[in-house]
Structure 1
Amino acid sequence: MSGSTFVPPRPATCAPSRAARELGLRRNEFTLAVRLGRIRTVPDEGGGGGRRVERAEIDRLRAQDGFPETLRERVRVVGTAEGAALMGIPAGRFTRLARLGLLVPVRLYLNRYRAVVWLYLAEELRQFAACAENAHLLKGRTPETLRGQLAAGVDLRARNWRGRHLGFLLREAEGPWARAGAVAVLLAPVEIADVVKDPYERAQLNRFRSAPSDHGAPGSPSAHLAEHLMTAHDSDEADWLRSELAHAVQEARDHSPAPRPAARHTAPARRPAAHHAHPVPPTAARHAVAAARPASPPPPRDHKGEPGATRPARGLRAWLHRRRPRPAEV
């Protein structure tokens, strides 16, 4: 058509990096939004094995009131000091509430002193402070039962973070083996081996059992710390996870058994070939017959001087002797 400009159709989905830019989010904010279910993703049908964002999902989020500030506020995270100020309580009380498991961290990082810094969703902190049932926890003296737990050294921050991370992994898991691998992430290898005896099933689990990818480069102190915090150490938590893993593996096994190497088929022992009689060439046959024939006795030796010894006629004499006519018998 003259006077018209061709506009190529937009792709139905886009990569996470592109979606984050269009939504005005940093990469860690985008990752958290996906894990929290704020942004819906779909499997990558191109075979890349990752996740993509549909164009319709981006349009839906961009059409919301207050975009992009409202979306960024929903995934905003704060530390202890900022969280305490947001809730209107001292930082010490905030830490005690977090240790008791009443405030659940959503992320962590290692500061320059290699100390763990827990991060919390600002949205959840505001909701906790606004709930009338929690008023006695924000003001006045901490209840006696809670003070006893604190005195005993209870600290549920890491455990609650593991539980939240497990929820993230289960939300992203596709298939029963991926769900079983998500549970296995929180267990030490020795615990997994004790629950899953089959080595091929453990290898299948390891395909989906990976350390958090957003807590430092592999081998770094942050990665080692995240791996340590990711592993359940309390006996009651580990026992619960072992039970969940056994159940998840059984479901995965019923759905699709773990792949195994193809059985080696050994070739059957070869039977000795029967010896068939082959036609023997004429010359070889003559030699074979001659070799099999008993040796003829040697001709009598002609000993001179022995009585009765005669010498056979040879040459012309023998021929003339054969040609001479024999006398008629009377």
Structure 2
Amino acid sequence: MSGNTITHETTTSADPVGTTRGTSVAPSRAARELGLKRSEFTLAVHLGRIRTLPDDGGGGGRRVARDEIERIRAQQGFPEVLRESVRSVGTAEGAALMEVTRARFTRLARLGLLVPVSFYINRYRAVVWLYLADELRQFASDERNAALLKGRTPEGLRDQLTEGLDLRPRNWRGRHLGFLLRRADDDPWSRAAAVASLLDPVEVSEVVRDPCERSHLLRFRPTQPSHGVPGSPSAQLAEEIMTAADPDEIDWLRADLAGAVDAARRQRPAPRPVPRGAEHHPAPKERHPQRRVPHPERSASTPPGPAPRPPKTEARGRIRGLFGRLWRRDP
């Protein structure tokens, strides 16, 4: 079983629809009008079931066009079909849905055969993985998976489980990256920031060495799901899950980040700070050397006059300096 099981989801287009704030609504209102809980609405957006558009009113968030809401409401079976398409279940409910034991369900998930769609940290600081009910039903109904649902797990897979293989965090990160890239639309820096969000800051600084580009990248960093108070054990555990850990996964993301930043740099270079005072003191214009014109009353054979005398203050300074040197030489 290979560890390289991360895939990007691009099944459903999430291109923005509409551009006017007056013809769109906030996510909370869209969720109410579509009969969804906020968590269900967020998942529906991630999966491409609901298309959003940038908030052109300066809010920086996302909105849902009125036309999009009407399109969804007009679909056959609304709202039950929509709700079922985003229903997520945990291990116990998922095992019952697939008619397998919880232990077998967990083994299949650790092997990467069942990909989590989200997770949360419970009050015991344990990670609870959630899966799409639709995907579990499809897996169980596929005849090619019958051997995995009954009987002994193949020896090769058992060995990997014994060695501690658990692809759930990595597969979630791959799926989550697909969500972030879909939300980034065509903005090159947003796409680069989506990749960077799954890497440790040290890794990002090694790939993006230019401090101006790193600072610009940080402006587009997507907001990650919150899990507890910042700095709490739950938040730290969630941060570990959201950060790439396997060496080959890190190498893959670093290569993706380097390519994304290079593309963003070519399309729209990161802004540079203006030198201090440059906006108030423009650089002087370049002067061209002027040809000296001789005085009309002085002929070419006239020798140049004596050098001008230094100012009195300068002359006094020189005399004082001379006396000072003489004074220091006296025994």
Q: CA deviation at 1:268?
A: 7.9
Separation of aligned partners in 1, 2:269 and 2:43: 33
Separation of aligned partners in 1, 2:231 and 2:223: 11
25, 34, 41: which one pairs with 1:23? 34
Separation of aligned partners in 2, 1:212 and 1:222: 14
Whose relative contact order is higher, 1 or 2, with alpha carbons under 8 Å and at least 6 apart? 2
1:186 and 2:178 are equivalent in the alignment: no
Separation of aligned partners in 2, 1:221 and 1:150: 27
Q: Residue deviations 1:281-330, cap 9 Å, x none? A: xxxxxxxxxxxxxxxxxxxxxxxxxxxxxxxxxxxxxxxxxxxxxxxxxx
Q: Residue deviations 1:46-65, cap 9 Å, x none? A: 12111111111111111222
TM-score relative to the length of structure 2: 0.75
AA aligned opposite 1:263:
P
AA aligned opposite 1:79:
G
Matched residue, 1:249: 261
Separation of aligned partners in 2, 1:45 and 1:258: 22
Shift in alpha-carbon separation, 1:92–1:45, aligned structure 2, 3 A: same
Shift in alpha-carbon separation, 1:66–1:220, aligned structure 2, 3 A: farther
Shift in alpha-carbon separation, 1:126–1:30, aligned structure 2, 3 A: same
Aligned residue for 2:199, secondary structure, equals coil
Matched residue, 1:95: 106
TM-score relative to the length of structure 1: 0.75
Separation of aligned partners in 2, 1:211 and 1:103: 26
Does the 8 Å contact 2:110/2:168 carry over to 1?
Answer: yes
Matched residue, 2:306: none
Does the 8 Å contact 1:212/1:226 carry over to 2?
Answer: no
Aligned residue for 1:202, secondary structure, equals helix
Shift in alpha-carbon separation, 1:135–1:170, aligned structure 2, 3 A: same
Does the 8 Å contact 1:11/1:55 carry over to 2?
Answer: no
Same amino acid, percent of matched pairs? 70
Q: Residue deviations 1:103-153, cap 9 Å, x none? A: 000111111110000010111101111111111111111111111111111
Q: Residue deviations 1:79-101, cap 9 Å, x none? A: 00000000010000000000000
Separation of aligned partners in 2, 1:69 and 1:61: 12
1:207 and 2:219 are equivalent in the alignment: yes
Q: For structure 1, which runs of at least 5 residues remain unmatched after alignment?
A: 1-9, 270-330
Separation of aligned partners in 1, 2:168 and 2:141: 22
Q: For structure 2, which runs of at least 5 residues remain unmatched after alignment?
A: 1-20, 285-331
Does the 8 Å contact 1:232/1:238 carry over to 2?
Answer: yes
132, 136, 145: which one pairs with 2:147? 136
Does the 8 Å contact 2:180/2:222 carry over to 1?
Answer: no
RMSD, aligned α-carbons: 1.8
Aligned residue for 2:119, secondary structure, equals strand
